[in-house]
Amino acid sequence: MNKPSRIAEAHRLDLTHRPRRNRKAEWARRLIRERVLTTDDLIWPLFLIEGEKTRTPVAAMPGVDRLSVDEAVREAERAVKLDIPAIAFFPYTEPHLKDEHGSEAYNEGNLVCRACRAIKKAFPQLGLVTDVALDPYTSHGHDGLVREHGDDLRILNDESVAALVRQALNQARAGADVVAPSDMMDGRVGAIREALDAEGFVDVQILAYAAKYASAFYGPFRDALGSKGALKGDKRTYQMDPANSDEALREVELDLDEGADMVMVKPGLPYLDIIRRVKDEFGFPTFAYQVSGEYSMIMAAAANGWIDGDKAMMESLIAFKRAGADGVLTYFAPRAAEKLKAR
């Protein structure tokens, strides 16, 4: 097998380096593999909805359902069994609970808080990540508070930070282990840290959505939350311009200075260069969010038979590790974990 045929001998190039030698067999490829993906790298985002024994499919995200709290507890059990370290929550909010101030965000009985309490009680070993941003709760669909002057709609920064602090405290009281501000207001990480510490929540971590871009890839998520139709205008005055990269480093630096324990880059695959720069520059725990639109693209192409969905999923996840990410928030988490455990 290792000996070339006579014909091969005749054509043989006199090469010093044959990189293919190290790829000749699976055992050899395993030996030189630079990165590994394990279940430890996964954070699984779940959508919540009111009701009992209720699962409603998210149309643009095949395989993803909105879950009532009891169903979320069952999925939490699945996460534990699959060795997924942490799950994250995003609520679909009934339209009648939305208002201009996002008041439901501070309701200690809101969906996210109920899910936190129920899952913390059943599976205390599972990490719970909650999203700090008002968009699931506001009638205008923005992550912060707004002021409208006729056609001119402004997202207010400092007023929003005060609201986000209240929201984060509400989540910490319900048992959140990690609060994750995804709102992109200036100064919110410092304000949240101070408020958490003042209430004795010194061990609650902050995972800052530090470099979050104004992206078209959030479409299916906004559908899942019911915030799409509601959104007035766009989020470009607070989320970042996809053309920028140096600015991402400044955003990350500010969040780290203000006390972020971990930082995130979002979306994922189109922004691998940002993950690499952030990791190289700061060396902090760095996460990528493989967002809804990325999930939907892979699922849609796979459903058409245009790509192999499982392979594309695993390839996309190892790409995050290669780029320097310590972990990935991904809707593929349970499916990827199943594959990893079967290996």
Residues of the shown chain interacting with ligand PBG in the complex, contacts defined by CB under 6 A: 131, 133, 135, 143, 182, 218, 221-222, 235, 291-292
Q: Which residues pair with 42 in a beta bridge?
A: 328
Structure-block tokens of residue 164:
């986000």
Longest dimension (CA), the chain: 82
24 given a catalytic annotation: no
Q: How far is the CB of 259 from ligand PBG (least distance, A)?
A: 20
| 3-class SS string, 210-234 | EEEECCHHHHHHHHHHCCCCCCCCC
Q: How far is the CB of 222 from ligand PBG (least distance, A)?
A: 6
* CA-wise closest residue to 172 among 195, 142, 145: 195
Q: How far is the CB of 184 from ligand PBG (least distance, A)?
A: 8
Contact (Cβ atoms closer than 8 angstroms) between residue 295 and residue 10? no
Residue with smaller CB distance to ligand PBG, 68 or 227: 227
| Residue among 81, 98, 232, 266 flagged as catalytic | 266
With CB atoms as reference, the residue minimizing the distance to ligand PBG is 221
266 given a catalytic annotation: yes
Contact (Cβ atoms closer than 8 angstroms) between residue 236 and residue 184? no
Residue length of the chain: 343
Contact (Cβ atoms closer than 8 angstroms) between residue 89 and residue 132? no
Q: How far is the CB of 314 from ligand PBG (least distance, A)?
A: 19
Residue with smaller CB distance to ligand PBG, 90 or 201: 90
Which residue's entry shows tokens 């679909």?
92
First to last CA, the chain: 28
Residue with smaller CB distance to ligand PBG, 201 or 289: 289
| Residue among 212, 235, 279, 321 flagged as catalytic | 212
Query: Which positions are annotated as active-site residues?
Result: 212, 266
